[in-house]
Structure 1
Amino acid sequence: MIFVTVGTHEQPFNRLIKKVDELKRDGIIKEDVIMQIGFSTYIPKYCEYKKLFSYDEMIENVKKARIVITHGGPSSFIMPLQEGKIPVVVPRKLKFHEHVNDHQVEFVRMENERYKNIIIVEDEQKLGRYIKNYDSIVTEKNGENINNNSIFNDKFEKIVETLIKKS
């Protein structure tokens, strides 16, 4: 199953929803697709969808999915990473009126350069290629779950231990 989420931003992300629906229609995507379409106005004809899922439903869909396709909002692509998935990230763009600026493009580029743990698709016309080749592409990615909370806690614990030893 493929799970697609566009987050809860109030601007539509029709470009992504329509492209995935077309890939399903054309048989490029053969497995079931479940979409969280948010405020998109394009209504999928070939994929199962809901406007919004509860947080628990989101986690369940991410866990069940073979591939998670998401927009470039950090919460939406971090959740799949926490579940051990390498997400396909299609950032929202200003020129398509999908967001107020291009911060998602910039942010996902920096994330990928730093951690090499996401698949960025800036041109939705190439999305089918990434889906077809997903299994081989993820072998080149860093699948380690980077948990900054754990890193912070470990460093903080060492600082506390050092302070206790000094007193």
Structure 2
Amino acid sequence: MIFVTVGTHEQPFDRLLKKIDGLIESGDITESVFIQTGYSDYVPKFAKSKQFLSNIEMEKNIDEARIVITHGGPASFLSVLSKGKIPIVVPRLLKFNEHVNNHQVVFAEKVVNKGYPIKLVTNIDDILSFIEEYKENDMERQYNSHNEKFVADFSHIIVNMVR
């Protein structure tokens, strides 16, 4: 199963939902997909979906998913990492009115540059190759937890961003 989450930010993230739904419709994605849609206007036609999930439902979906695709909110992709899985991260972008600025891109790039295993999608048209690569390489089994180092580095990044 592929689990997609867009978080709880009040601006829609229709671009991601439409892309995933289109890949299902075209047959490029054949496994089941569940999408947490948040405040998006688009309602998926080819995937199961729910607007919001409880914490228990989120944890269950992350645990059961083979692949988790998430927006660039740190809490979302860090929760995937904490479960020993590598998230595919699609940051919300200002130019599509998905957020108030591009901080999700900036933050995700900093995390990648620090060597943490997230798969950052900078062009939505490339998402299928990320999904196919994930299938071929079984990346989640390559992940080794370094939670303590991550928390220390993450804290340092936040302190430097606030300065």
Task: Name the TM-score class by shorter chain.
Answer: 0.7 to 0.9
Gaps of 5+ in 1: 153-167
Deviation digits for residues 28-85 of structure 1 (CA, Å, limit 9, x no counterpart)? 1110000000000001000000000000000000000000000000010011111111
Structural RMSD (CA): 2.1
| Corresponding pairs, count | 152
Unaligned runs of 5+ in 2: 153-163
Structure of larger gyration radius? 1
Deviation at 1:151, TM superposition (A): 6.7
- The secondary structure found in structure 1 opposite 2:95 is helix
The answer to whether residue 93 in structure 2 is matched with residue 93 in structure 1 is yes
Equivalent residue for 2:114? 114
Aligned partner of 1:49 in structure 2 is 49
SS in 2 for 1:57: helix
The change in CA–CA distance for 1:97 and 1:139 in structure 2 (over 3 A counts) is same
Residue 156 of structure 1 is matched in structure 2 by none
Measure the CA separation in 2 of the matches of 1:40 and 1:151.
31
Q: CA deviation at 1:116?
A: 3.0
Give the % identical residues: 47
Q: Is the 8 A contact 1:90 1:121 kept in 2?
A: yes
User: C-alpha displacement at 1:150, in angstroms?
Assistant: 9.2
Structure 1 residue aligned with 2:9: 9
Q: Structure 1 residues 32-41 or 132-141, which shifts more?
A: 132-141
Q: Shift of residue 130 of structure 1? A: 1.0
Contact (CA 8 Å) 1:118, 1:141: kept in 2 or not?
A: no
| Equivalent residue, structure 2, for 1:123 | 123
Q: Relative to structure 2, which stretch is displaced further, 53-62 or 108-117?
A: 108-117
How far apart in 1 are the matches of 2:140 and 2:76?
21
The CA distance in 1 between the partners of 2:132 and 2:150, in whole Å, is 34
**Residue aligning to 2:28:** 28
8 Å Cα contact 1:72-1:104 kept in structure 2:
yes
SS across alignment from 2:143? coil
- Per the alignment, do residues 122 and 114 of structure 1 end up closer, same or farther by CA in structure 2, a change over 3 Å counting? same
Gap change, CA 1:141 and 1:106, over 3 Å in 2: farther
| Matched residue, 2:73 | 73
Does the 8 Å contact 1:7/1:38 carry over to 2? yes
8 Å Cα contact 1:89-1:118 kept in structure 2 = yes
* Equivalence for 1:146: 146
C-alpha separation in 1, matches of 2:80 and 2:70 = 9
TM (normalized to structure 2)?
Answer: 0.87
